[in-house]
Amino acid sequence: MSKRAQLTLTLIIVGCIAAIVAGSVTLSNNMHTAEALPTNNLLVNGGAELGGYYQDGVPQLFVAKYWRAWWHETDTRPEYKIAEYAIDRHRIHSGTKAHQWFNNYATHTAGIWQRVDGLSVGRQLTLNGWVQAWSASHDNPRVSDGKYRLRVGIDPYGGTDPESLDIVWSETVQPYDQYFELTVSTIARSDRATVFVWGQAEWPMKHNNAYVDDLSLVQEGEPEPTPTPNPTSTPTVTPTPDPTTPTPVPTVTPLPPDLVDQIATETHNRIVKSLGEALILAGEFLLLEAAP
């Protein structure tokens, strides 16, 4: 193999290795955003990445945009704040933010809700979300010794009462200090539906925190049927070609036999001549190589 060929091959191999290494680096950098929300997600800001706003202008209610906080008036109102990756990455499921509500030395029953419009009655709705709790008598953020329960639900009638018996709830879980995926499905009973997240701190621990991320609501099933074409409309008539004027089929004119023979002979002679010249050149090269 010539030096040039060796260099080319080396460059190709180095290029391939560089591409593989670059791909690995990109993958590891994006690992925290690997859990992409479905493209047909009907919820807005389900992952809290769009940040928050002060609900009703209350400083303690910094709720994720497009969501509303709710709490039981008979219990303590928790504080709402967006959880940040920079503060504690373990509280974020994807991206750099998550929903959060909490209080200290107090119990609460509280959560968030969002309503969506434009649904089709009878189609299946599936809600998915990731939840975790920190319920602790101390300040270690990796250990919980309290009791906190979480669930997600759908009101298929679009109501906004978190106490409504219309809400179809997922299972109730207690995922302490790590994210757990919850899913619930029901059938749309209206052209709108409301999604709820429900969290309950049972004991007045020093810390009672709920974290929620990557909420999605998807409308499943068959798409809307295509409207039937208007039967009164006149179909467009494609003009029929005139049968009396058929398109002429192109014909191939054969070459005269003499001309064919002449072309063949000339081609043959050219090939023989080129081959002879190549052999002479090769011979001269070998003689030069063999010369002392």
Interface residues with Ca ion (CB under 5 A)? 47, 95, 97-98, 213
Say how far apart CA 43 and CA 181 lie, in whole Å: 17
User: Cα separations (Å) of 43 from 37, 80, 173?
Assistant: 10, 19, 22
Nearer to Ca ion, 47 or 146 (CB): 47
- What is the nearest approach in angstroms of Ca ion to the Cβ of residue 10? 45
Say how far apart CA 125 and CA 93 lie, in whole Å: 23
Nearer to Ca ion, 79 or 213 (CB): 213
Nearer to Ca ion, 77 or 97 (CB): 97
Nearer to Ca ion, 5 or 86 (CB): 86
Say how far apart CA 199 and CA 168 lie, in whole Å: 15
Q: Is 115 helix (H, G, I), strand (E, B) or coil?
A: strand
Residue 229 sits at the vertex; the CA angle it makes with 228 and 233, to the nearest 5 degrees, is: 150
Q: Is 107 exposed, middle or buried (0-12, 13-18, 19+ CB in 10 A)?
A: buried
- What is the nearest approach in angstroms of Ca ion to the Cβ of residue 99? 8
- What is the nearest approach in angstroms of Ca ion to the Cβ of residue 91? 10
Q: Is 97 exposed, middle or buried (0-12, 13-18, 19+ CB in 10 A)?
A: buried
- What is the nearest approach in angstroms of Ca ion to the Cβ of residue 62? 15
Nearer to Ca ion, 119 or 131 (CB): 131
- What is the nearest approach in angstroms of Ca ion to the Cβ of residue 32? 9
- Are 184 and 126 in contact by the 8 Å Cβ rule? The answer is yes
Nearer to Ca ion, 44 or 280 (CB): 44
- What is the nearest approach in angstroms of Ca ion to the Cβ of residue 210? 14
